[in-house]
């Protein structure tokens, strides 16, 4: 296993649309393992392959307090979303120490392949539903700050660029 470097906003590679995984093979399983190690090390609850500069439709999630409920979603798709929306604070490993409110569907149904390449489908609500939607946005080349006003987004961009220049 290996820790992977996480791209930081406003890196243009974060806006790359991920391609579907054609086969869940040893390379993809190794990527999944490395992504879990990276996510846990960074204290995150989700990580999309896009964030580690791999532009394939792969994400890993673990929203459990004990860090013992890892979920692998390969080629995920939302097959149902609730009309009810929730507004909660979101953060992102690619936008460290920045949190803001983003509207998300309260409940979703997700279909994806697992680490073993087998299809799975499940319903999610609460933090899991938010995390799935957040990570799936990454696969579309979208970062959560894009839901914010242009003023907020520009402030965050300036702050992140300054942090990168200062080597923080």
Read off the CATH number of the domain in which 20 is found.
Answer: 3.90.45.10
Mean pLDDT of the chain, nearest integer? 97
Evaluate whether residue 50 is within a structural domain. Answer: yes
Which amino acids are annotated as binding site, given as ranges? 92, 134, 138
> What does the angle CA 99 – CA 105 – CA 111 come to, to the nearest 5 degrees?
110
Q: b/e per residue, 84-116, with b = 16+ CB within 10 A?
A: eebeeebebbbbeebebebebbebbbbebbebe
The pLDDT of residue 168: 62
| Arithmetic mean of pLDDT, 107-112 | 98
Evaluate whether residue 2 is within a structural domain. Answer: no
d(CA 12, CA 1): 27
Evaluate whether residue 72 is within a structural domain. Answer: yes
Evaluate whether residue 19 is within a structural domain. Answer: yes
Encoded tokens for 35: 């992504």
Evaluate whether residue 105 is within a structural domain. Answer: yes
d(CA 41, CA 22): 28
Residue in 64, 79, 70 with CA at minimum distance from that of residue 35: 70
Q: Which of 41, 56, 135, 146 is catalytic?
A: 135
Quick check: is 121 catalytic?
Answer: no
3-class DSSP assignment, residue 95: strand
Evaluate whether residue 54 is within a structural domain. Answer: yes
The pLDDT of residue 167: 78
The pLDDT of residue 4: 98
pLDDT in tens, 93-104: 999 999 999 999
Instruction: Check: CB of residue 30 under 8 Å from CB of residue 117.
Output: no
Instruction: Report the number of distinct structural domains present in the chain.
Output: 1
d(CA 154, CA 134): 20
Evaluate whether residue 110 is within a structural domain. Answer: yes
The pLDDT of residue 1: 78
Which amino acids are annotated as binding site for Fe cation, given as ranges? 92, 134, 138
pLDDT in tens, 111-168: 999 999 999 999 999 999 999 999 999 999 999 999 999 999 999 999 999 988 987 6
Q: Residue 91 belongs to what domain range? A: 12-167
The pLDDT of residue 158: 95
Evaluate whether residue 130 is within a structural domain. Answer: yes
């Amino acid at each position: 296993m290996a820790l992977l470097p996480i791209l930081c906003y406003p890196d243009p590679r974060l806006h790359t649309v991920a391609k579907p995984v054609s086969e869940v093979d040893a390379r993809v399983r190794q990527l999944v393992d490395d992504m879990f190690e990276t996510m846990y090390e960074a204290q995150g609850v989700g990580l999309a392959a896009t964030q580690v500069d791999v532009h394939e439709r792969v994400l890993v999630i673990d929203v459990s307090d004990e860090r013992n409920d890892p979920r692998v979603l390969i080629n995920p798709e939302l097959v149902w979303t609730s009309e009810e929306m929730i507004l909660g604070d979101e953060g992102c490993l690619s936008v460290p120490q920045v949190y803001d409110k983003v509207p998300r569907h309260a409940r979703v149904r997700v279909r994806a392949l697992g680490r073993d390449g087998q299809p799975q489908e499940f319903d999610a609500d609460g933090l899991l539903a938010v995390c799935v939607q957040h990570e799936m946005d990454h696969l579309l080349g979208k970062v959560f700050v894009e839901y914010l006003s242009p003023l907020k987004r520009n402030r965050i961009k300036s702050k992140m660029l300054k942090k990168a220049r200062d080597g923080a």
